Structure 1
Amino acid sequence: MARPKDWQPLRESDPVPGDPSGVRSQVTHMNKIAEYLRTQAKSLTAMADADNLKGKYADKLAEDARGLGRKLDLAEDRYREVKGHLSGWADELEDFQKAADKALTDAQDAQRVIDSHKGKDNEKPADKKGSQDDKAGSADEDPALKRAKEDLADARRRLNTTEGDYQERATHYAGKIRSSIDDDMKDSWWNDFKGWVADADWLGDIADWASWAATFVGVVAMFFPAVGVIALALTVVVAAIHITQALTGNGSWFDVVMDLGALKLARNGMKAAKAVKALQNSSRKTAAGLANRQAKSQAARGNAGARKTAARSERKRGGTSRKNRERARAKRLRLEGENRAAGKRASDEVRDAEMPQITAQEKASAIGDKALARQMKDINRWRDTYPDNPALASNASQAQRHKDAIQGSWAASTGLDAADKGADAVTDDGYSRMKDRMTAPVGSQW
């Protein structure tokens, strides 16, 4: 049964938290384990006492079987005692919660009566007779209001008593459970580590804080992509904590799946962004080469006649002096150099051209990433400048696919994050209960 969320006018939050049904389900589980251990211990004892095995291996097998049987007996005792303590705590916890809920209901009923009389008091005209009339008014207080105030005070006393008893019994059962597990059976380092994680409530607090911080930084990264690495680092921290908690049985594997999904989506988005940047550089390089060849060809057409004349003069023999031939050769080389220079200038203009400016709509289409929007516009600019070039057309097509991947990763990641943070409010904590059912530690529990 879901606990009340609003504890006004008595408390800010639930003073007797806990889930009796969840505790009882653990008791049932532990009872099954205890029965299984008892059965296995008897089987091992019977094996050790069997007379039909002979030889050294039989003695060794009997010795090991007796040792393991004793360990199983100790484990069974531990489970049996702990489940007894938990069963008692579940019953008392349920009684405490019923008493607290009754006090809350009575207090809220009384508060409604008090609030309704406040409205009536505000409508009364001011009394002009001074303190004597005030005292008379106090004596003539509405019986219903007086009774409501007494009921509210009584509800507070009852809740205080219940809360004190709750704390005392919780401490009592915690001590009993610690005493039950303090036996001759030695826990492994993994069991100790699981216990440490279970007691480290601050790990969960860090995970919650980092998760909300990653959400906030992720939104900021839409406008300042450079901070995206911070969001990624925070997500890694959250995933590491959730994996540790899930491995030790103190957290849900569903949270781990969600975290790994978020990291996968972030990785896909980062890879796609790098691919767009590489395509933009490739398009610039290709366009620069095309501009070089185009400008060089145009310049060559402009001085083609002069170059041909110089070349013919350079080849002439007989009546042409050597000096004239050298001048003709120098002219030809100069004209060819001018052609190459024209090509280089055109190439440099493309390579060094300013990145295009973008509109608000273009920025929005890139999820607020100004750099991505400018890269996409630059890629499309060179494709449109040289529409017959297949490489530039291919770059533009690939860039669009990567941009779609970035948008899809962002949308999926944002949707999962919003669903994870808001599902409990929609399902009345059913979402958390579902995740709790996906809790399973790695390694032995005893």
Structure 2
Amino acid sequence: MTFPPRPRPRDWAPLAATDPLPGDPVAVAQEAKRLRDLGAEMRAQIATLRRIGEDDTLAGEFAEKLRSSAADLAGRLEKAVGRYEHVSGHLEKWAPELTGYQAETLAALDKAKAAEEIRGAAVTTGPDVPAVQCAVDDAECMLRQARDQLATVVETAQRRGREIADLIDDATDDDVKDGRWDRFKDLVARNAGWLKGVSDALSLVATAVAVSAIVVAVLAGSAVPGVNVVIWLTAGAALGHGLLAVEGSGSWTSFGLDAFALATFGLGRWAAGGVRLADANTRLAAAAAARTGARRAVLEATQIRRLRAARVLADPRSSAAGRRGAQAVIDTAHRSAARAGARAAAAVRAEPLPQVRGMAALAGGNVDVARASQRVLAFRSQFATHAGVQAASSQVEALRRVGTISFSAGTVVDLSDKGSTVTRNFFARETGSGW
């Protein structure tokens, strides 16, 4: 792993008094490698102990004790080695992420220092000159942007750092004692009857909700709380069926079908979130495009008048009254352009969600997602030449298809599972089995 050679500066003015995001990614990566190598060495020792435990060439009482001790120690090390592997993996993720966050803080610092240089040069030249005042304003804007950028990066990095720390705490806070797994399996076995009933009931309710969401969406075009409810119900069913399968009282097939349905519903929810994000980003880009277009139209309409006014301002023979009038013409044009841009942007931001019916309402199993994707496509068509709008909306069609296919596939699999369950239960009752 390579890291940028640029060292962390000591002077963070005008952004901060000290380094806002200290840390050494290289040291983190080295520690991750050390733990990974230690885990690999432990794996090798475990393999050696298991070979000893499986060696039947030795005979005698000592041989039995040696094999038993070797197998027991291998089992204990197997539980402990996961700590090193998990911590190493988390540190390997954090090292490049920290590098990226620190690079972003340096970029913010560069922008702030550039703003300071511009402002200092402007003050030296003379702040009363209009062009210099514009440069000072731009420098102030750059400085604010740099400070906002730094605050965002530091907040994101600290939040991610806490997440990594929590993961490491979880990895090191395990219990390397024997017996809990056996006690857990016994607990599941004692409660297998009602656990199976609850799991099957949750699965049936999840299917009913999913089918209801499809029917209501297609016929009425109305949103129902389908996907979230289905996901939670299916997760509960998968948990129950998984516990039963691990203990031996259930079928891995039922768990696999629940897990597949849960994965597809989750993928559909992810796609729905992507559509909503694309809708928000596209509306922002479209509002900016509308603002720019409206301002440009007003400025183009007043171009001749502004040119005439500019010539009056440039002419040293112009009277003071003439200069005031010319400046008023220019100011009025710019204010009119700003108002027109604000109105156009507000109209785009207030654009309502369109109505959808039929199969189009099944995007991601959520009518609101379908409506959002339709609005994105409308903006995409309206601002076909605007790069920002096109970039923000580029993935919405693919996300919509993923959502539709995922939710439909999850529902079909859920229905298949229920059909097989009903069939097995019917034949079990007919034959008098206790399945």
State the TM-score, normalized to the length of structure 2. Answer: 0.53
Q: CA deviation at 1:372?
A: 1.8
2: CA distance, partners of 1:213 / 1:290: 47
Q: In structure 1, the residue corresponding to 2:395 is in which secondary structure?
A: helix
Identity of aligned residues (%): 25
2: CA distance, partners of 1:64 / 1:393: 69
2:298 maps to which residue? 299
1:195 maps to which residue? 186
Q: CA RMSD in A?
A: 3.5
1:376 maps to which residue? 373
Please point out which of 206, 210, 217 is paired with 1:214: 206
Unaligned runs of 5+ in 1: 1-42, 50-59, 69-186, 433-446
Q: Which amino acid aligns with 1:378?
A: R
Tell me, yes or no, if structure 1 residue 311 matches structure 2 residue 303.
no
Tell me, yes or no, if structure 1 residue 322 matches structure 2 residue 295.
no
**Structure 1 residues 316 and 287 mapped into 2: Cα distance closer, same or farther (>3 Å)?**
same
Q: In structure 2, the residue corresponding to 1:47 is in which secondary structure?
A: coil
1: CA distance, partners of 2:205 / 2:370: 26
Does structure 1 conserve the Cα–Cα contact (< 8 Å) formed by 2:227 and 2:365?
Answer: no
1: CA distance, partners of 2:345 / 2:205: 46
2: CA distance, partners of 1:270 / 1:193: 33
**Structure 1 residues 245 and 428 mapped into 2: Cα distance closer, same or farther (>3 Å)?**
closer
Count of matched residue positions in the alignment of Structure 1 and Structure 2: 261
2:413 maps to which residue? 416
Q: CA deviation at 1:325?
A: 1.4
**Structure 1 residues 287 and 419 mapped into 2: Cα distance closer, same or farther (>3 Å)?**
same
Does structure 2 conserve the Cα–Cα contact (< 8 Å) formed by 1:293 and 1:343?
Answer: yes
1:346 maps to which residue? 344
Q: CA deviation at 1:385?
A: 1.4
Q: Deviations over 1:291-330 (max 9, x none)?
A: 1122112111221222122222222223x33243133213
2: CA distance, partners of 1:257 / 1:370: 29
Please point out which of 59, 74, 77 is paired with 1:47: 59
Q: Deviations over 1:257-277 (max 9, x none)?
A: 222212211111011101111
2: CA distance, partners of 1:383 / 1:66: 69
Does structure 1 conserve the Cα–Cα contact (< 8 Å) formed by 2:365 and 2:407?
Answer: no
Please point out which of 378, 383, 386 is paired with 1:386: 383
2:237 maps to which residue? 238
2: CA distance, partners of 1:380 / 1:431: 52
**Structure 1 residues 249 and 65 mapped into 2: Cα distance closer, same or farther (>3 Å)?**
same
Q: Deviations over 1:337-381 (max 9, x none)?
A: 21122122111211222222x242364453763212211221121
Does structure 2 conserve the Cα–Cα contact (< 8 Å) formed by 1:362 and 1:373?
Answer: no
Q: CA deviation at 1:225?
A: 4.5
Please point out which of 329, 332, 337 is paired with 2:330: 332
Q: Deviations over 1:406-439 (max 9, x none)?
A: 111122111111111112556787899xxxxxxx
1: CA distance, partners of 2:344 / 2:67: 87
2: CA distance, partners of 1:431 / 1:389: 64
1: CA distance, partners of 2:288 / 2:246: 56
Q: Which amino acid aligns with 2:188?
A: V
Q: Deviations over 1:164-201 (max 9, x none)?
A: xxxxxxxxxxxxxxxxxxxxxxx955444333322211
1: CA distance, partners of 2:285 / 2:342: 14
Larger radius of gyration: 1
1:121 maps to which residue? none
1:92 maps to which residue? none
2:400 maps to which residue? 403
Unaligned runs of 5+ in 2: 1-54, 71-177, 218-222, 430-435
2: CA distance, partners of 1:295 / 1:386: 13
1:18-37 counterparts in 2 under 5 A? none
1: CA distance, partners of 2:328 / 2:391: 43
Q: CA deviation at 1:402?
A: 1.1
Q: Which amino acid aligns with 2:374?
A: K
**Structure 1 residues 203 and 365 mapped into 2: Cα distance closer, same or farther (>3 Å)?**
closer
Q: Which amino acid aligns with 1:211?
A: S
State the TM-score, normalized to the length of structure 1. Answer: 0.51
Does structure 1 conserve the Cα–Cα contact (< 8 Å) formed by 2:227 and 2:265?
Answer: no
Q: CA deviation at 1:66?
A: 11
**Structure 1 residues 424 and 247 mapped into 2: Cα distance closer, same or farther (>3 Å)?**
closer
